Every structure is written in C-alpha cells, then in structure tokens.
C-alpha cells in the first residue's frame, strides 16, 4: 500500500513538474519577423500602449515590460527603436554609440556585450525578430554567416 501511494505521488509530482517545464519553455506565440531600421524605429517607446523594441547583435527584443527603463523619457530610452549593440558593449548612451557597429571594441567590451546579451536580454525579454542587417549584407546579398537553425526562436519560413 505504501509503495502504491509512493508511486501515485511520484506520478502526480512528475506530471506537475512536466507541466511547469512546458510553461517555462513555451515558445513565443508571436511570429518572429525581420525588421528594417525604419520599421524598428516605430517601436521607440514614444507611443503609449505600443510595444517597445530594442535590438542587440541583430536580435530584436520586446522590452515593453521594462518600460520604466525603456519607455518615453525613461533613462535608457535612447537604446530603443534601433540596434544598440555598440552602446550596450560600451555601457554608453552617447549618440555616436547607438549603432550595431562593433568595429574597434576592446576584448573586454565584447565580453561585456556577450554577458549582457545572454544574461540579461535573452534571459529576460522575448525575442520578436531580427534586423535585416543580421541576415543580409550591406549590398542586400544573404549573410552566409547567419545560420537560422542556431538562432533562438527563429523559424525558417518562405519569406526568409
């Protein structure tokens, strides 16, 4: 009887854990999309009730739940509506750093960028898309370095 009760409890506990894991790892219900710079600018926190997006390393995050940091007149509002990779790496709000360009960054800045990208943004905010610059070269040709299967929540669709 004790063994049957233990097995029943184990089964119930395992089912509960499995359901919790499913909830934790549930994929985004919004489709992942490709953003041009112009499209991304529309999500700069200036319009109340609209999502706030920020890109780092070409990955577009929905930072709306952090609107006290990223919303209109918030301390980090300069980072949103664009790819702010360089600014994040340098921990800077200087307008000249509000770019995706990583040319000339030190090894320490690149390590900082990776830590913040993985530990803060990917851990905390949903990914809603990628910038065109992550997928395409400046001349519009496909970026051969971009591997969709290695990207979080990226699903290969006909438009890509």
CATH number at residue 58: 3.10.120.10
What CA–CA distance (Å, rounded) separates 158 from 41?
A: 25
Q: How many CB atoms lie within 10 A of CB 151?
A: 17
Give strand pairing partners of 125. Answer: none
Q: What is the largest CA-CA distance in the chain?
A: 72
Domain membership flag for residue 76: yes
Domain membership flag for residue 77: yes
Domain membership flag for residue 154: no
Going from the C-alpha of 134 to that of each of 70, 128, 160, the distances in angstroms are 23, 14, 12
Instruction: Answer yes or no: are the C-beta atoms of 67 and 45 closer than 8 Å.
Output: yes
Alpha carbon distance, N-terminus to C-terminus of the chain:
58
Confidence of residue 31 (pLDDT cuts 50, 70, 90): low
What CA–CA distance (Å, rounded) separates 149 from 142?
A: 15
Residue pLDDT, tens place only, 51-82: 999 999 999 999 999 999 999 999 999 999 99
**Domain hosting residue 118, numbered range:** 34-144
Cβ-count burial 50-86 (b if 16+ within 10 Å, e if not): ebbbbbbbbbbbbbbebbeebbeebebbbbbbbbbbb
pLDDT score of 150:
62
Is the pLDDT reported for residue 10 higher than 70?
Answer: no
> Containing H/E element for 131?
strand 127-131
pLDDT score of 141:
76
Question: What percentage of the chain carries pLDDT values higher than 70?
Answer: 70
Instruction: Answer yes or no: are the C-beta atoms of 146 and 34 closer than 8 Å.
Output: no
pLDDT score of 151:
60
Confidence of residue 158 (pLDDT cuts 50, 70, 90): very low
pLDDT score of 156:
44
Residue pLDDT, tens place only, 83-124: 999 999 999 999 999 999 999 999 999 999 999 999 999 999
Total number of domains constituting the chain: 1
């Amino acid at each position: 009887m004790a063994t049957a009760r233990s097995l029943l409890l184990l089964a119930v506990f395992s089912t509960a854990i499995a359901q919790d894991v499913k909830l934790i790892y549930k994929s985004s219900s919004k489709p992942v999309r490709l953003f041009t710079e112009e499209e991304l600018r529309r999500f700069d926190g200036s319009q109340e009730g609209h999502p706030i997006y920020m890109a780092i390393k070409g990955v577009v995050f929905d930072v709306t739940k952090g609107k006290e940091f990223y919303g209109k007149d918030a301390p980090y509002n300069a980072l949103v509506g664009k790819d702010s990779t360089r600014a994040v790496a340098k921990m800077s709000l200087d307008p000249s750093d509000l770019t995706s360009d990583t040319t000339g960054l030190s090894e320490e800045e690149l390590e900082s960028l990776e830590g913040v990208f993985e530990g803060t943004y990917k851990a905390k905010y949903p990914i809603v898309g990628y910038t065109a610059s992550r997928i395409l070269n400046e001349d519009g040709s496909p970026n051969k370095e971009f591997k969709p299967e290695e990207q979080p929540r990226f699903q290969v669709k006909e438009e890509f």
